[in-house]
Amino acid sequence: MLNKKFKVLLAAVVVFLCLFGISAQGQEEAVGEKSVEDLEIVFIPKNSGNPYFDSIVGGFEKASEEMGFTFNTIAPATAEATSQIPFIKTQIQRGVDVIAIAPNSPDALNQVFKQAMDEGIVVMIVNSDIPGSEEYRDVAILPMDFEITGSSQIELMGSLIDYSGDIAVLSATTDAPDQNYWIEGMKEALKDPKYANMKLVDVVYGDDDPQKSLTEAEALLTKYPNLRGIISPTTVGVAATAQAVENAGRAPELQVTGLGTPNQMRRFIKNGTVTAFALWSPFDEGYLAANLAVDLALGNVAAEEGATFTVPGLGERVIGPNRVIITGPPTVFDKDNIDNFDF
């Protein structure tokens, strides 16, 4: 009798274990089987209302249409160091698969990035990096090699002013990781004897706000009547600076260059206020980021140096040292080529 009860109990335990085992295995399979259509990817630009980020968003949207993942973008009104934190927290609560972000600070977001990564969310820095804080993000996508961005801006300005005269920089926010990296590169480049007759007299900040950038540019013009050049390594700032120089009639004695979008700068190139400026393709950057985001979220590619992934039209790319990927290359725009570009 006892023996029979025991057998029944044993059978029940075996059945239970089998069922439990099967269902646990089933769960694993369900997770492993996550497909691209299940993915939700969000991109958080520095701030809203900047056409530069609309182009990056365009790249994400194209990839979303092609691959079928859900894409959203949301941004704070201002590019202050901490303005993105509540947006990131909301996305963590929503349980998105990937947070791609152009950060407004090199370190103020670290804790919230960690929170996201602890929840299994892929954190991808797009358009710059958080140097020295690489453990708080999976990968960083740079639009070009940041080691040469600053020096190429100095060379471009030098070529416009015969390598002689006082110059100033009109930047984005004081915390902007990308612009600060480039400005350091400019200062380093100026130590080269080639630029011995060029002097950086001021760095001012327009916060990537068109009105504040215009006001800061006007203040530079008033403060430095003999200024030969202003470099503005921000699409918002360079358009505002060109506007200020046009209003004041200071071109061509004063040259404006920097990083701008062809659509915002076309008018100034055509009317001679600006001779040349540079940029890369923010659209390609967004498209590359989106393709890598999918590969990382599905586990097809590991976020490790040396791993490779393929982007339609952009070829095979490698995750480099510090898990950085460079989109590149930049283009210099002038009156001869600007009409070939529409972004």
Residues that bind ligand RAM (CB under 6 A): 46, 50, 52, 102, 127, 172, 178, 208, 234-236, 259
Spatial contact of 244 and 308, defined as CB atoms under 8 Å apart: no
| Least distance (Å) between residue 298 CB and ligand RAM | 28
Nearest to 81 by CA among 54, 109, 49: 109
Closest to ligand RAM by CB, 230 vs 297, is: 230
Closest to ligand RAM by CB, 154 vs 307, is: 154
| Least distance (Å) between residue 208 CB and ligand RAM | 5
C-alpha distances (whole Å) from 239 to each of 52, 256, 266, 281 are: 12, 9, 10, 17
What dihedral do alpha carbons 267, 270, 271, 277 form, nearest 10°? Answer: 80
Name residue, tokens 């510090």.
Answer: 322
Q: Alpha-carbon distance 235 to 318, whole Å?
A: 28
- Shortest-Cβ-distance residue relative to ligand RAM: 52
Nearest to 191 by CA among 181, 180, 199, 183: 199
> Which H or E element spans position 294?
helix 282-297
| Least distance (Å) between residue 107 CB and ligand RAM | 17
Closest to ligand RAM by CB, 133 vs 149, is: 149
Spatial contact of 168 and 230, defined as CB atoms under 8 Å apart: yes
| Least distance (Å) between residue 17 CB and ligand RAM | 56
Q: Alpha-carbon distance 52 to 260, whole Å?
A: 8
| Least distance (Å) between residue 22 CB and ligand RAM | 51
| Least distance (Å) between residue 259 CB and ligand RAM | 4
Closest to ligand RAM by CB, 50 vs 273, is: 50
Closest to ligand RAM by CB, 254 vs 259, is: 259
| Cα angle, residue 238 at apex, residues 204 and 342 outer, rounded to 5° | 160
Closest to ligand RAM by CB, 91 vs 261, is: 261
